[in-house]
Amino acid sequence: MKLSLQLKLGQQLTMTPQLQQAIRLLQLSTLDLQQEIHQALESNPMLELVDHNDEEEVLPRGQNTTSLDGITTHDKIAEPQSSDTGGDEESSWGEQSSSDFAVDSNWDDTFTNSYSASGSYDSDTSDFESRNTAEETLQDHLYWQLNLTPMSERDRAIAMAIIDAIDANGMLTVDVESIHSGFEEDLEIELDEIVAVLHRIQQFDPIGVGYRDLCECLLIQLSQFNSPEQAQLVKHAKLIVKEHLTLLGHRDYAQLMRRTKLKEAELRETIALIETLDPRPGSNIAPPSTSYVVPDVIVSKNPNTGKWKVELNPETAPKIRINSSYASLVKRADSSDDNNYLRDNLQEARWFIKSLQSRNETLMKVATRIVEHQKGFLEYGEEAMKPLVLHDIAEAVSMHESTISRVTTQKYMHTPKGIFELKYFFSSHVSTTGGGECSSTAIRAIIKKLIAAENVKKPLSDSKITELLEDKGINVARRTIAKYRESLSIPPSNERKRLV
């Protein structure tokens, strides 16, 4: 093997730790960002929370605003401020570090000593009960009733086995034979005993819990109607549930009237009674936990000028700043371990604050461009939504599409129309007969509006919706209409049919 020296010229992207931190913070959601800030406060002594009453030491938000096609946006998150400590060493370090951030963000300003979301943060004011109270499950609810029910120890053991096999919807997930086989042979428990205990549990609250199929669930609930006035109606309902549940599911009302020999008015009343029943009785005992969304951006309209104003939510993150007492301990010419530790933490604190500021600036730029492009949606709703892709925003703010994707993921915007994820405003387009483009979100809104106004006796088919959209100048295939309809959780026309 011959050894030789070669000279090559090439380009390589070096990801510095500071740049990696900035990119990572950029894609964090609000809750993840708050957790990241708290971890930084715990690990870095140079960072501290700003006291609510210490507002004079916090950098004020920029008061300058600019008008952008009817949109008002804040130019700066915080005014630049030079450091009070560190001298020439920190100045040269800042000049060196600015070159490491030359990607998709403006890093020309100097480092700031504090970062503020211009909002208060007080962990003590959070809802203590919602975080520390365990929610009652369906099994807990059934065990509570079992303890109040007089029952032999033998039947109680059977009841506990049955309750353990009931899911969150109230359905018995295993058959009675499997429960019977689970008991020891010494107990000599008969299968009829298990069925008898099951029928007893099915009378617990909620009525119908422990059902084995939909038919049994509905029949148990129908058996609770004891009013003489409803006796005939309940009889018809039981007949349909027992023998014609499939026809009811397909909404084949003609066949139902033919087989049950009911008139249209009687069938209408019977179906109305069946629709009052709950096919999943256990789901209301322990509803799924609610997740609250904190918007990152707030959009509002100035009633006097008619301009849309975009601003960051001041409550998304706590205020942090550099501890001036610790920062003053850093000595320029000292190379001791203690001084190096303080200097390293001071640099990390400055980078962290700078990354947070850059995150907000980038989020502000992207949100402003989105609002500028989707002013029609803010004014008139979903039907006025325009087509928008990541490339359009990336080109407008001179950033890469991957950066826009990070900024718009798990970030939410509060508008007069509601709270939406930033990705909601991006959608593909469909061509129109006039040579223009229509957003897929707008098409979904039109489909939803057409179906809401349809004749329930003769619902609109996908082909008919296609024709109606063509009359509006929108060229959409029938399969595309079916896909949009399914994404809106709207059943097909045969399942939307009703008796008036």
pLDDT of 451-484, one tens digit each?
999 988 889 999 999 999 988 888 889 999 999 9
In this prediction, residue 136 has a pLDDT band, given cuts at 50, 70 and 90, of: confident
Tokens for 357, please give them: 């500021």
The segment with the largest mean pLDDT, out of 41-55, 173-187, 322-336, 461-475, is: 461-475
- pLDDT (mean) for 386-396: 92
Tell me which H or E stretch contains 237.
Answer: helix 231-243
**Of all residues in the chain, what percent carry a pLDDT higher than 90?**
51
In the prediction, which pLDDT does 1 show?
A: 65
pLDDT of 343 strictly over 80: yes
d(CA 467, CA 282): 43
Please give the mean pLDDT across all residues of the chain.
81
- pLDDT (mean) for 247-262: 90
pLDDT of 93 strictly over 50: no
Tokens for 41, please give them: 């406060």
- pLDDT (mean) for 192-200: 94
One-letter amino acid of 66: T
pLDDT of 88 strictly over 90: no
pTM for this prediction: 0.68
- pLDDT (mean) for 397-405: 90
- Asked if 392 and 448 count as a contact pair (C-beta separation under 8 A), the reply is no
In the prediction, which pLDDT does 134 show?
A: 60
Least confident of 77-81, 147-151, 195-199, 203-207: 77-81
- Asked if 206 and 278 count as a contact pair (C-beta separation under 8 A), the reply is yes
In the prediction, which pLDDT does 468 show?
A: 92
Domains and CATH numbers, the chain: 17-98+293-408 (no CATH), 137-211 (1.10.10.1330), 213-285 (no CATH), 429-495 (1.10.10.60)
Tokens for 273, please give them: 């009674």
What is the DSSP track for 163-189?
HHTB-TTSBB-S-HHHHHHTS-GGG--
pLDDT digits (tens, 9 = 90+) for 21-69: 888 888 888 888 889 999 999 999 999 988 755 654 444 443 333 344 4
d(CA 365, CA 361): 6
d(CA 333, CA 85): 13
In this prediction, residue 226 has a pLDDT band, given cuts at 50, 70 and 90, of: confident
Look at the alpha carbons of 354, 357, 115, 45 in this order and tell me if their dihedral is positive or negative.
Answer: negative
pLDDT of 76 strictly over 80: no
- pLDDT (mean) for 175-189: 84
In the prediction, which pLDDT does 186 show?
A: 65
One-letter amino acid of 435: G
- Asked if 237 and 275 count as a contact pair (C-beta separation under 8 A), the reply is no
pLDDT digits (tens, 9 = 90+) for 200-211: 999 999 999 999
In this prediction, residue 318 has a pLDDT band, given cuts at 50, 70 and 90, of: confident
pLDDT of 412 strictly over 90: yes
